[in-house]
A and B are shown apart, each in its own frame.
Chain A
């Protein structure tokens, strides 16, 4: 049966993380160091070491994920542990610092860690909401199915406009030809629509197919009889096409959002590890 990474093994890693957090808090509260609590006390060292090891292990997920043949357990299990234990760092490391923040490489490291963790929170949100949303949006079709439908409509529109006036034909064909979906990563992410249409000899933006649709609707109101019927049919089909395009664009937007955060999460992880090395070196040299 399907169980998500959040409820993997009945939330085993969630409870492990809770244990780690509570344990750290309790020991921190009971500890009575001679100096103010900080990373240099025995508890500071202990928590710091735990945190550093955890970070290395969390970063290792990138390797484990691609180790298809070997590797222990399932990636789902690893991700489950990753998100819960990763989150626990917020508490463990804060206790390690003994709340001694300042403008230095140590706090810079802490800041980077928080960035990675918060981007991770967004990742979990994306992983748990976008798939359902995308499936609902497409009504259980695949993206390819929707594209195929648009293609079908394109040929149907060509057939429908075969006997239309030349301006109608121009608008419909150019709207089809100049429809842009996808585009660069940024266009995808913001669902930007660079489609255009030729209207009265000029290329104008056709965002959301609005311009073309507007033209067609206007045409509809100015024709009668048989012609009106045929324009009406074109408007109906064109509008179906527009709605399908909206679905595609929204779907691509969600899919790219669900992946783009990793492009932040991973590089900052590298920066974090570099900073962490600097932090550890500096405390050993200057203390």
Chain B
């Protein structure tokens, strides 16, 4: 049931784009696994729009700028005492069940993240215990922990305490999933975790009670239905901010007003996200939603974005439009499927290289320039306004 075995470094040389990894991963993964990772909700219009919307934004390159020395570093500050500097504005988004993609699962992802100094957001729905993921990371690795607020508060408290004890530097609260979106392929497949894998962050008894594949519904969906909380509201975020000693980042916001509410509730960062197009269908793409949230936040906290990023120029556009950092989800799964640790490292390296190309060929030599030079990236409508 697991994905392709680890490939040697040499054979990954022919993979020169994220698309190459995606194509190979699709070949390697069993259908139900592939469907789980690739699916969007319902008609899948949002998962498609996340990618296609990038094409509507155009880079306006500057010429004859000295681009020999590139500064791609970003600094994320949670408060005056707590800030982190990353070599590139690119991180690993939380995605579930890495051991379905590769036998080493989240351990491989964590090692790849450490070896490239890449921030990794570890998913609650990990097939590896959060303690073990931290253990596999280097001592100064960047690790955040993604969680949901469960119906049973004690589960959340337990996860938070353990994450803090294991050195995770921030929590990422997912707020776009009071219930799981409908992924039709999962329903048709009656998707459930392969028998040899478990959601390792939770105790076995709890799992036995709630997680069971049923015909016509996905087993995972049943589990989630019982754990998640439809009543989840802003008080719960306030509670979590209070309870947690580490900063809380909110993931899954697309409205400016919600970003403001999150700030007022004590969030230290916002991830503009639509859950990879897997939750509400027919919603706005994250690149389209980004400027509204950036404007609403107005510098009061970091703004991140995920969803549909597949190339360095996608990253370039997100940063130009105001994101501090970009997270990638499925591409990491694809790298993992194809080549384990080396596959993930390769995907990250491809994106970093493409990002550097985008910077140099646009006449931009630093992140600061990218975010302050006017109109580096515009919506294509810029070129068809009524004066023409």
Task: Answer whether A and B are interacting partners.
Answer: no
Chain B positions within 8 Å of A, measured between CB atoms, are: none
